[in-house]
């Protein structure tokens, strides 16, 4: 350099002008170098990621920078930017199968963006660099569709519709890992509405409303029953009081009232039995509903397994595509860097062997897990069948217990009504007898005599009835018309027939009662007792004289 400057100084005459020219040339070279260096230093904005690729380090395909900057070495390095602007996508999911095998529509809105976490940011650099925003959005849309279907297939409609927070958490748990594989992360999820083709969700609301209405009707029926019972008791009390005041004049009404109360109690017993039958039917309906739910859960388990199989197939396909892309990138690097071809081929061989061994281990683990899952499914199915039998047996036993309880309550109510009616009759008789004794100045024997007098007509009617029903087609009397002043044998036959009936005085004497004199008296003739009852003897003598 010194030699060049000296020669230049000699050429320029060794003057000051030559030195100035040399200094200007040096300054120009330095300025140009500084400008070139400044042009190769790239700063990263806050809404972007700077991806430096080329020769960035051993075993690295790129270097990602968020914030700050980096110097880009000419020829061996280059750079691109990835935008961090969020992407909002409408996902009109329709006809997705739920855990109950019911197709539902879940229109939603997803907001995703490129992640700034180092591992996920590297995935974005490897898989999204150079793609247009529309291509990135389409890739994310396909992943979200698949994972959203898997999420819906793992939940029942009740879980999706009633617990939206848990549903959103399940979506995040399933969608986020898949988006992270391509360098994206889930920012927000918004479920706009949930509907189904079979109107199952609407039916759930109708069922809840119907249950509330049914409960209200049961309460109204119970209140009406209580009001009817209270009204019946009030009417019964009123009629009992009236019956006590007119006991002597209205005995027939008391008996009719007792019959009415018995009928009312019988009707109430029938109503209780009907309610018990309705409750038993409800228990049977609940048992059938539990059986149907178990069947739906079993069918949903099958759908969930099929969906899980589809998910595993999709994941394996995505992994295969990712591995294929990595292999292509490594092949390009190997072509550009011939010196590293052998080392990279050896590394690729080792990686392939390890991957194959890992796949074998994964397949063995999956086979083991599938065997355990099938065993668990069989155990669950047997447990469900067992539970069905237990529920049916419990429902039948409860039905029989309630029927027996209803019949017992009806019998008890009938007996109580009969006892109550008999008690009222006896109380009324006691009141009447007390009034009768009081009217006889406290003479109980006189009162008994009056009561016996009322029954004489019935006794005589019973005596007449005893002989009037005798079926005698023909009577042949051999009357010798003998004397002796004892009359004909025909008259004696009828008189003896009349005398064979129990005398009224004997019947009254058995009861410890002495009849009045105007009813006749007992006299003895020829050592035998004879009742002087002119009316009876005259009645017996009339046919004899005829």
DSSP character string of 204-249: HHHHHHHHHHHHHHHHHHHHHHHHHHHHHHHHHHHHHHHHHHTTTT
Q: How many CB atoms lie within 10 A of CB 115?
A: 23
Residue 300 tokens read as 């949903």
**pLDDT number for residue 348:** 81
Q: 84: buried, middle or exposed (CB in 10 Å: 19+, 13-18, 0-12)?
A: middle
How far is Cα 238 from Cα 253, in angstroms, rounded to an integer? 13
Q: Is this model's pTM higher than 0.85 or not?
A: no
How confident is the prediction along the chain (546 residues), in pLDDT tens digits per residue? 555 555 555 554 556 676 787 878 888 888 777 777 666 778 888 888 888 888 877 778 888 888 788 878 878 888 888 888 899 998 888 888 888 788 888 888 999 999 888 888 888 888 888 888 899 999 999 999 899 888 888 888 888 877 788 888 888 999 999 999 999 989 998 888 788 776 776 667 667 667 777 777 777 777 877 777 877 777 777 777 776 776 666 666 667 777 777 888 778 777 777 777 777 777 777 777 777 777 777 777 776 777 677 777 877 777 777 677 777 767 666 676 767 667 777 778 887 888 888 888 888 888 888 888 888 888 888 888 888 888 888 888 888 888 888 888 888 888 888 888 888 888 888 888 788 778 787 777 777 777 777 777 777 677 667 666 666 555 555 555 555 555 555 556 555 555 544 566 666 666 556 666 555 555 554 444 444 444 444 444 444 433
Q: 367: buried, middle or exposed (CB in 10 Å: 19+, 13-18, 0-12)?
A: exposed
**pLDDT number for residue 110:** 93
Q: 499: buried, middle or exposed (CB in 10 Å: 19+, 13-18, 0-12)?
A: middle
Contact (Cβ atoms closer than 8 angstroms) between residue 183 and residue 128: yes
Largest pairwise CA distance in the chain: 216
Q: How many CB atoms lie within 10 A of CB 124?
A: 27
Check the CA dihedral 130-134-136-142 and report its sign. Answer: negative
Residues 6+ apart with CB under 8 A from 225: 271
Contact (Cβ atoms closer than 8 angstroms) between residue 98 and residue 104: yes
Say how far residue 95 (Cα) sits from the centre of its chain.
26
Residue indicated by tokens 């009907």: 274
**pLDDT number for residue 271:** 77
**pLDDT number for residue 516:** 60
């Amino acid at each position: 350099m010194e030699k060049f400057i000296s020669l230049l100084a000699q050429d320029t005459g060794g003057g000051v002008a030559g030195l100035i020219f040399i200094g200007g040339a040096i300054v120009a070279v330095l300025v140009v170098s500084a400008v070139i260096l400044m042009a190769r230093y790239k700063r990263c904005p806050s809404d972007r990621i700077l991806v430096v690729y080329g020769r960035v380090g051993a075993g690295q395909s790129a270097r990602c920078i968020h914030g700050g900057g980096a110097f880009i070495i000419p020829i061996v390095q280059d750079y691109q930017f990835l935008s961090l602007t969020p992407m909002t996508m409408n996902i009109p999911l329709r006809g997705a199968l739920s855990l109950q095998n019911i197709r539902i529509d879940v229109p939603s809105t997803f907001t995703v963006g490129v992640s700034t976490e180092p591992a996920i940011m590297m995935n974005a650099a490897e898989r999204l660099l150079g793609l247009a925003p529309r291509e990135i959005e389409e890739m994310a849309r396909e992943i979200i569709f698949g994972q959203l279907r898997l999420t819906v297939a793992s939940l029942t409609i009740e879980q999706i519709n009633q617990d939206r927070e848990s549903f959103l958490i399940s979506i995040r748990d399933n969608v986020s890992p898949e988006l992270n594989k391509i360098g994206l992360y889930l920012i927000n999820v918004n479920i706009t509405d949930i509907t189904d083709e079979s109107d199952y969700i609407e039916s759930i609301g109708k069922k809840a409303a119907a249950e509330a209405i049914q409960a209200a009707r049961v309460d109204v029926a119970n209140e009406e029953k209580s009001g009817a019972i209270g009204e019946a008791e009030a009417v019964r009390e009123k009629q009992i009081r009236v019956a006590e005041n007119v006991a002597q004049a209205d005995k027939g009404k008391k008996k009719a009232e007792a019959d009415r109360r018995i009928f009312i109690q019988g009707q109430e017993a029938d109503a209780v039995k009907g309610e018990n039958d309705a409750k038993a039917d409800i228990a049977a309906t609940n048992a059938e509903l539990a059986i149907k739910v178990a069947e739906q859960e079993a069918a949903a388990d099958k759908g969930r397994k099929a969906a899980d199989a589809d998910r595993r197939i999709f994941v394996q396909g995505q992994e295969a595509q990712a591995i294929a892309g990595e292999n292509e990138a490594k092949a390009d690097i190997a072509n550009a860097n011939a010196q590293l071809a052998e080392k990279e081929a050896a590394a690729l061989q080792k990686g392939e062997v390890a991957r194959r061994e890992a796949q074998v281990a994964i397949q063995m683990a999956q086979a083991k897990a599938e065997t355990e899952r099938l065993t668990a499914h069989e155990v669950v199915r047997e447990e469900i069948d067992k539970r069905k039998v237990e529920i049916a047996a419990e429902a039948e036993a409860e039905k029989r217990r309630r029927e027996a309880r209803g019949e017992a309550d009806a019998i008890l109510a009938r007996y109580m009504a009969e006892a109550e009616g008999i008690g009222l009759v006896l109380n009324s008789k006691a009141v009447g007898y007390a009034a009768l004794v009081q009217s006889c100045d406290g003479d109980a024997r006189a009162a008994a005599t009056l009561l016996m007098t009322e029954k004489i007509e019935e006794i005589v009617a019973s005596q007449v009835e005893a002989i009037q029903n005798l079926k005698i087609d023909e009577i042949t009397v051999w009357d010798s018309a003998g004397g002796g002043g004892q009359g004909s044998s025909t008259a004696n036959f009828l008189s003896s027939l009349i005398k064979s009936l129990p005398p009224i005085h004997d019947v009254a004497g058995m009861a410890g009662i002495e009849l009045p004199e105007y009813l006749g008296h007992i006299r003895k003739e020829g050592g035998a007792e004879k009742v002087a009852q002119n009316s009876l003897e005259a009645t017996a003598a009339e046919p004899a004289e005829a």
